[in-house]
């Protein structure tokens, strides 16, 4: 285990022993399946720390866990890739498990792309622009709003507002 502060000395964010305990807590949470953002939120709130401080604890905890295996990062990555591929190939695995395994596999290899959502026309070729209702009669506007409310009720969401 790597330590950066002498035993009993005060460091930014706590004593050496406090920092070691916080890193250990991060490790336990990560090993229990909590995501980084969940760990960051819990630790920051519990100890009154900044997210950047907790990020360093998470990074240190992950590094310690890797070191404890005695394997280098590339070997661990290869083992993970092989595991995820074995799930994908498994005839008895559910579709859900296969999709999750392939998602993790793609993340490990840097294949996942960020999603960008933009409102477009139904054909996807032009940017969506809300309808101009300035030339509609009052009755037509009321009818459109009624229709929008019905659609909201069906889909449980909000439809683009009318002027």
135 pLDDT band (50/70/90 cuts)? confident
Q: Can you give the length of the chain in residues?
A: 163
Q: What is the predicted pLDDT for the residue at 1?
A: 41
Q: What is the predicted pLDDT for the residue at 4?
A: 43
Separation of alpha carbons 81 and 42, rounded Å = 30
What is each CA distance from 127 to 21, 115, 116, 132, 145, in whole angstroms?
Answer: 52, 17, 13, 15, 23
Q: What is the predicted pLDDT for the residue at 13?
A: 63
**For 10-64, how does the pLDDT look when each residue is reduced to its tens digit (9 = 90+)?**
445 678 999 999 999 999 999 998 999 999 999 999 999 999 999 999 999 999 9
Q: pTM, whole model, 2 decimals?
A: 0.54
Q: How many CB atoms lie within 10 A of CB 17?
A: 13
Q: What is the predicted pLDDT for the residue at 6?
A: 47
Q: What is the predicted pLDDT for the residue at 162?
A: 46
What is each CA distance from 88 to 81, 104, 109, 111, in whole angstroms?
Answer: 11, 11, 15, 16
- Which is higher by pLDDT, 1 or 96? 96
Q: What is the predicted pLDDT for the residue at 148?
A: 80
**For 57-115, how does the pLDDT look when each residue is reduced to its tens digit (9 = 90+)?**
999 999 999 999 999 989 999 999 999 999 999 999 999 999 999 999 998 888 877 76
What is each CA distance from 59 to 44, 48, 53, 120, 127, in whole angstroms?
Answer: 15, 18, 10, 40, 41
């Amino acid at each position: 285990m790597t330590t950066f502060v002498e035993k009993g000395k005060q460091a930014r964010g706590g004593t050496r022993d406090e920092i070691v305990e916080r890193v250990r807590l991060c490790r336990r949470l990560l090993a229990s399946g909590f995501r980084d953002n969940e760990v960051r939120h819990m630790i920051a709130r519990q100890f009154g720390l900044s997210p950047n401080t907790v990020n360093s604890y998470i990074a240190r905890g992950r590094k310690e866990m890797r070191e404890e295996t005695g394997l280098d990062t590339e070997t661990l990555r290869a083992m993970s890739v092989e595991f995820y591929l074995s799930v994908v190939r498994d005839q008895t695995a559910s579709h859900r498990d296969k999709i999750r395994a392939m998602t993790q596999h793609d993340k490990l290899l840097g294949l996942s792309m960020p999603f960008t959502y933009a409102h477009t026309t139904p054909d996807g070729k032009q940017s969506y622009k809300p309808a101009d209702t300035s030339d509609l009669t009052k009755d037509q506007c009321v009818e459109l709003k009624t229709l929008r409310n019905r659609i909201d009720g069906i889909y449980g969401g909000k439809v683009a507002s009318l002027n």
